């Protein structure tokens, strides 16, 4: 294919503008999203969150809320701020899920850090186990989803989730939760929260992709899941997670 | 920045309670059904003849409450029109999915059959002696079976006995199962205990027996009929026995939790001493358990006059019903007041005139009594009482 110097400038200019706006490779290149070519069996999705990289800016919460039209006062993702004083119960806050970030710290001498939370997309998910009609399920690519056309709104799954990730959508009256931006990841995009994170604290990972950085991260870092004693096979891993986090 | 009604930290989606007062009614009502049926089976299977005057009363009470049992659930659902999917596509791993089947089994195979067999001879007679619409109702209720010869009645009796024998484990299943719905939620330490189905079962028996006892006295008073004191004493004695077991199980749970003192203990202990103090310690344990137990126990040791016994039994029965309601409240509502982070507490404000509000709950609690009155009009439970007096 011959490309004239004029065309090259045009494409380069486009790339520069779109990249600065945070566009994805598909948007930049104008390529068709690989939606039809997507094979669920080839993927097993999860996320890795590095606590030390999270600034508590709330970008992820805002991006999720906008991308998924999350009703006000409910959260598919949120960020918690822990402040720990030796010998005392940790002070934890998450004002409005940190959708507007956090107020400044009042004490600089305490250990403090931010913990982004979302559905752990557990492989042995208690919410899936308890749904009386199977409206919530683990997709073949490892994402816990809710069929809103089938959900009764009984909220047994809300009770069964150890992490507080589910809520009843006030308008739909069905249970709602993080879908890991399924509409995006099946098109080769990353999640809204990962994309909006300025420090790369959140990373969408595909355990079935041998080239995914997750394998190197898991090999070289000490990682942990939330509430491991619940034995839910959570697929959201945390780097540098403090033992006080619940 | 604090959220009204919240102390400490709750996960943001936990602030709002998901299961309301209607879900408190669900185990309360099914418990009354199971308990009333167990009392009926005392006479039928275990040959406790003294409680015969309450046999039919207990069966009709169980039916009246069973008919209402699914209504709080239906009102609670975000999409009640989809509830039938539980029958069509039940999710086999769900503890809740089997409710519909357990309910239908209990309603159709146990209660309706037993009541029909018990009343069959009278239904046939009434189908002949009554006139107008009533006649049509009774004719329909005969289900085309008009043979009430002594031989046919013997068959009725045998089948009725068999149904009651099946009915006892079914009643256990009905309410033990409701307990399992809560007891199997590993995410919630207030609920998650293998004792939950057993505690639910015995508390069900306690509440059902207390209800029939109170209902018996009230109905006899209303009808200005003499109360069979042998019957009342026997029911009170059985109420005492089951209450002792129930209380022992609950204390075992308490001692076990306190001794183990796992991660959740401090949080739950704080909750019991603050937000649940009135409903748990005052209502459930003191007024709803210790006082009725003391009243019932006193009657096992000393002989009181008939009038005094009646007052003591009625007080014990009434307080028991309040206490078991408080127990259901503390399980369902209490289990949602603390954060699964164990770092905070939310509160529950009962709404008044909403779908899941107080008015709905009151109507749902009165409805079984209205149904009972209709059933009692149609299938009078008094005949046997009169026969016994005679």
Bridge partners for A205 per DSSP: A46
- Mean of pLDDT values over B252-278: 95
Spell B45-84 as b/e; 16+ CB within 10 A means b.
eeebebbbbbbbbbbbbbbbbbbbbbbbbebbbbbbebbe
Among candidates B310, B111, B91, which has minimal Cα distance to B218?
Answer: B310
* pLDDT the model gives residue B43: 87
Q: Which residues contact A131 (CB under 8 A, 6 or more apart)?
A: A137, A151, A156, A157, B91, B94
Confidence of residue B150 (pLDDT cuts 50, 70, 90): very high
What is the distance in angstroms between the Cα of B343 and the nearest Cα belonging to chain A?
Answer: 8
Among candidates B69, B103, B111, which has minimal Cα distance to B86?
Answer: B103
Give every residue of chain A whose pLDDT is below 50, as ranges: 1-3, 8, 15-34
pLDDT above 90 as % of chain B: 89
* pLDDT the model gives residue A176: 98
Chain A residues near residue B20 by CB distance under 8 angstroms: none
**Cβ atoms of A88 and A243 closer than 8 Å:** no
* pLDDT the model gives residue A5: 52
What is the distance in angstroms between the Cα of B344 and the nearest Cα belonging to chain A?
Answer: 9
- Mean of pLDDT values over B21-44: 94
Chain B residues near residue A131 by CB distance under 8 angstroms: 91, 94
Q: Is B86 in Cβ contact with A152 (below 8 Å)?
A: yes
Chain A residues near residue B178 by CB distance under 8 angstroms: none
Cα(B333)–Cα(B353) distance, rounded to whole angstroms? 19
- Mean of pLDDT values over B119-132: 94
* pLDDT the model gives residue B107: 87
Cα(B41)–Cα(B161) distance, rounded to whole angstroms? 9
> In whole numbers, what is the pLDDT of chain B averaged over residues?
94
Residue B390 has pLDDT above 60, yes or no: no
Report the residue from A129, A152, A165 with minimal CB separation from B13: A165
Q: Which residue of B has its CA nearest to A172?
A: B78
- Mean of pLDDT values over B120-129: 94
* pLDDT the model gives residue A6: 54
Chain A residues near residue B331 by CB distance under 8 angstroms: none
Task: Name every residue in B having a CB less than 8 A away from some CB of A.
Answer: 1, 8-14, 16, 18-19, 73, 76-80, 82-83, 85-86, 89-91, 93-97, 99, 181, 185-188, 335-336, 339-344
* pLDDT the model gives residue B149: 94
Q: Is A164 in Cβ contact with B12 (below 8 Å)?
A: yes
Q: Is A153 in Cβ contact with B78 (below 8 Å)?
A: yes
Residue B174 has pLDDT above 90, yes or no: no
Q: Is A130 in Cβ contact with B185 (below 8 Å)?
A: yes
Chain B residues near residue A94 by CB distance under 8 angstroms: 9, 11-12
**CA distances to A26, A191, B6, B324, B377 from A64, in Å:** 20, 8, 25, 44, 60
Q: What share of chain A is helix, strand, coil (3-state, %, to 5)?
A: 30, 20, 55
* pLDDT the model gives residue B2: 79
Chain A residues near residue B10 by CB distance under 8 angstroms: 164
Q: Is B186 in Cβ contact with A162 (below 8 Å)?
A: yes
- Mean of pLDDT values over B250-267: 95
Predicted TM-score of the model (pTM)? 0.91
* pLDDT the model gives residue B385: 43
ipTM > 0.85 (yes/no) = yes
Residue B133 has pLDDT above 80, yes or no: yes
Confidence of residue B106 (pLDDT cuts 50, 70, 90): confident
What is the distance in angstroms between the Cα of B74 and the nearest Cα belonging to chain A?
Answer: 9
- Mean of pLDDT values over B299-325: 97
* pLDDT the model gives residue B100: 87
What is the distance in angstroms between the Cα of A236 and the nearest Cα belonging to chain B?
Answer: 17
Q: Is B94 in Cβ contact with A129 (below 8 Å)?
A: yes
């Amino acid at each position: 294919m011959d490309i004239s110097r004029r065309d090259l400038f045009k494409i380069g200019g486009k790339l520069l503008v779109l990249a600065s706006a945070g566009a994805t490779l598909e948007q930049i290149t104008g390529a068709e999203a690989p939606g039809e070519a997507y094979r669920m069996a080839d993927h097993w999705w999860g996320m890795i969150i590095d606590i030390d990289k999270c600034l508590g800016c709330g970008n992820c919460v805002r991006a999720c809320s906008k991308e998924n039209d999350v009703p006000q006062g409910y959260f598919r993702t949120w960020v918690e701020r822990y402040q720990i004083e030796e010998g005392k119960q940790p002070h934890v806050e998450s004002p409005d899920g940190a959708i507007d970030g956090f107020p400044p710290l009042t004490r600089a001498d305490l250990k403090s850090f931010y913990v982004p939370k979302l559905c752990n997309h557990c492989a042995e998910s208690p919410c899936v186990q308890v749904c009386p009609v199977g409206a919530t399920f683990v997709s073949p690519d490892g994402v816990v989803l809710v069929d809103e056309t089938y959900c009764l709104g009984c909220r047994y799954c809300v009770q069964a989730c150890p992490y507080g990730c589910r809520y009843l959508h006030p308008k739909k009256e069905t249970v709602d939760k993080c879908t890991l931006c399924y509409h995006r990841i099946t098109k080769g995009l990353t999640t809204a929260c990962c994309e909006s994170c300025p420090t790369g604290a959140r990373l969408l990972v595909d355990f079935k992709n041998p080239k995914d950085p997750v394998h190197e991260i898991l090999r070289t870092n000490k990682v942990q899941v939330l509430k491991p004693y619940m034995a839910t096979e959570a697929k959201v891993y945390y780097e540098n997670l403090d033992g006080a986090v619940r | 920045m604090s959220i009204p009604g919240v102390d400490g930290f709750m996960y943001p989606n936990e602030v709002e309670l998901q299961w309301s007062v209607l879900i408190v009614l669900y185990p309360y009502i099914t418990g009354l059904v199971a308990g009333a049926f167990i009392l009926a089976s005392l006479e039928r299977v275990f040959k406790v003849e003294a409680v015969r005057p309450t046999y039919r009363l207990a069966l009709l009470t169980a039916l009246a409450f069973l008919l209402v049992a699914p209504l709080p659930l239906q009102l609670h659902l975000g999409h009640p029109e989809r509830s039938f999917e539980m029958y069509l596509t039940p999710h086999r791993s769900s503890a809740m999915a089997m409710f519909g089947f357990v309910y239908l089994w209990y309603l159709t195979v146990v209660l309706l059959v037993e009541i029909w067999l018990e009343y069959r001879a009278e239904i046939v007679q009434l189908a002949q002696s009554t006139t107008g619409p009533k006649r049509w109702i009774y004719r329909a209720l005969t289900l085309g079976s008009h043979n009430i010869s002594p031989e046919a009645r013997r068959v009725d009796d045998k089948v009725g006995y068999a149904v009651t024998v099946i009915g006892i484990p079914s009643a256990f299943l009905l309410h033990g199962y409701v307990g399992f719905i809560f007891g199997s939620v590993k995410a919630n330490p207030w609920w998650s205990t293998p004792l939950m189905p057993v505690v639910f079962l015995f508390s069900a028996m306690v509440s059902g027996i207390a209800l029939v006892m109170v209902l018996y006295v009230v109905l006899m008073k209303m009808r200005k009929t003499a109360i069979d004191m042998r019957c009342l004493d026997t029911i009170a004695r059985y109420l005492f026995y089951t209450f002792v077991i129930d209380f022992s199980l609950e204390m075992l749970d308490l001692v076990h939790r306190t001794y183990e003192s796992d991660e959740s203990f401090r949080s739950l202990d704080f909750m019991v001493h603050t937000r649940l103090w009135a409903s748990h310690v005052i209502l459930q344990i003191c007024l709803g358990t210790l006082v009725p137990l003391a009243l019932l126990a006193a009657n096992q040791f000393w002989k009181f006059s008939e009038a005094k016994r009646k007052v003591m039994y009625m007080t014990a029965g009434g307080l028991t019903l309040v206490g078991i309601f408080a127990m259901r409240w503390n399980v369902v509502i209490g289990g949602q007041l603390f954060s699964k982070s164990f770092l905070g507490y939310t509160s529950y404000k009962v709404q008044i005139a909403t779908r899941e509000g107080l008015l709905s709950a009151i109507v749902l609690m009165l409805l079984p009594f209205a149904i009972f009155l209709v059933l009692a009009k149609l299938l009078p439970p008094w005949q046997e009482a009169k026969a016994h007096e005679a």
